[in-house]
Every structure is written in C-alpha cells, then in structure tokens.
Amino acid sequence: MPLLLAPWTRLSVLVVLLVAAGVCVLLYEPQRILSEGWPPGLPVGTAVLLFAAAYGVCAAAFVPRPLLNLAAGAVFGTQFGLVAAVGGTVLGAGIAFGLGRILGQEALRPFLRGRWLQAADGQLSRHGFRSMLAVRLFPGMPFVVANYCAAVSRCGWGPFLLATAIGVVPNTTAYVVAGASATSPGSPAFLISFGFIVVSVVGAGVVAWLKRHRFAPPRNQAPVPEPVPQHPPVVSAASHGP
C-alpha cells in the first residue's frame, strides 16, 4: 500500500493516463462525435448536458478546445452552444486539475527551482484567481498545460474554477458564434467572431513579447549560495570545573 501512495508511483499513473488519452485522440478523433448532432427527440437540456460532459472528457484528453467550441456552435447554435462549451470547459479543467493535484503535485514540486518556474508557482499560489483569469483571457498557453501547471502549484480549487468559468467566455463565444454561422462565412456574425479570434491571438502574442523580460533569468549573475545551518556549540563536560 505505501508503494501505491508514493508520489512517483502516482506520477507514473498520471503519465500513463495522459499518453493513453493522447493515443485515443489520435486514433479515434472523439471530437467528430460531438459534431454529428443528437437524436431529434432528445430534449435540448439533456442534449446540452450530455454534450458538456463529453466536451469535458475530450478537453481533458487533449482535444483542442477550438474544435470543440466550433462543434458546440454548429450543433446547438450560439446560446445553447455557449452554455455547453463553457460548462464543458470548466468540467475538463476540473478533471485535469484534479488528476494533476492528486497524482503529480508531490512528485513535481521539488523540481520548481528555476526562476521561471518559481515565479509562475508564486503567482499561481498567491494570486490564483487573478493569474488564472489572465491566462484564460489571453489564450497564449495551451489549455491542458495551464491546468496542470495550476495543479502543481498551490492554487485553490475555487479560484481556479471560477477564473476558468469567467475567463474563457469571450474567446469561447467567438468560436461558438463562428461555428453557428459557419454555413454563411460572409455574414457579419462570422466576420466579427473571426476578427475577434485573430485579434485575441495577436494580442496574446504581443503581451507575451512585452512581458518576456519579467521572468527572464538575469545575465552574469552568480548563484546565491545556500545558507549554512548554524549549530549551537557543543560544550563538553571537561570544559566545566569540578
């Protein structure tokens, strides 16, 4: 039993699960299932819930979210598609965060020694909601990577899920609208949503370029020596008088 609870054993299980998920995505392309529609007699509310559940599993298994968001818009339209996409995004983020927190955090935290890693960990640990909201609003970091980075940090469940639910709305809306209006690519809705996607991607690249020096390691800086522990002097019995 202690072997099963060892951090490296749990990390190995996580790696196996992620590799298996990636292989399944490449072989079976589960995102195609979501774009084929639902039975006509199925109530809309039930279909949205089922779609959101399938979306969450696919998002946690490395299926690109833009494809899932386009499928949500194509199947349900803008309103219900946005509900299904945002709900599935939060579910997928929660699945990845839980797996990373339970199976990988203890094994990976000792490796957070580089300046970039320590800075990112400090931001997520002290300002979890604000940091995750910025990551979700500016789609520069891949969705799954952001989930597992947050899981390794000390970011709480509440700030992580709340920032995800709020931060993904603008970008997700653009993709859902684009999917809902894909049959008429010359329509204003499609052109506006596509323009927003382009602007958000370019904006994320500009912000990343401007902030590149913030976490850049300083040049020609000698490493800071680790402090030597101070032990109290040992006083032998012979040093005391009779």
Dump pLDDT digits (tens) for 162-217: 999 999 999 999 999 999 998 888 888 888 888 888 887 777 677 666 655 554 54
What are the domain boundaries of the chain? 2-212
Among 180, 145, 175, which residue's Cα sits nearest to residue 73? 180
Listed in sequence order, the residues at least 6 apart from 177 whose beta carbon sits closer than 8 Å to its beta carbon are 73, 78, 189, 190, 192, 193
- CB neighbourhood size of 153 (10 A): 25
| Residue 65 tokens, joined | 């979210």
- 58 or 82, greater pLDDT: 82
Q: What single-letter amino acid sits at 211?
A: K
Q: How far apart, in whole angstroms, are the C-alpha atoms of residue 95 and residue 144?
A: 10
Instruction: Choose the most confident range, by mean pLDDT, from 73-82, 127-136, 201-210, 221-230.
Output: 73-82
What's the chain's average pLDDT? 76
Per-residue confidence (pLDDT) for residue 84, from 0 to 100:
95
CB 94 within 8 A of CB 121: no
Check residue 8 and give its pLDDT.
Answer: 59
Tokens found for residue 174: 């653009």
The H or E element spanning position 213 is none
Q: Is 60 a residue whose pLDDT tops 50?
A: yes
Examine the pLDDT at 221 and tell me if it is beyond 50. Answer: no
Q: How far is CA 163 from CA 121, 129, 136, 168, 236, in A?
A: 17, 5, 8, 8, 60
Q: How far is CA 40 from CA 36, 46, 75, 77, 158, in A?
A: 12, 12, 12, 15, 37
Lowest mean pLDDT among 45-54, 82-91, 131-140: 131-140
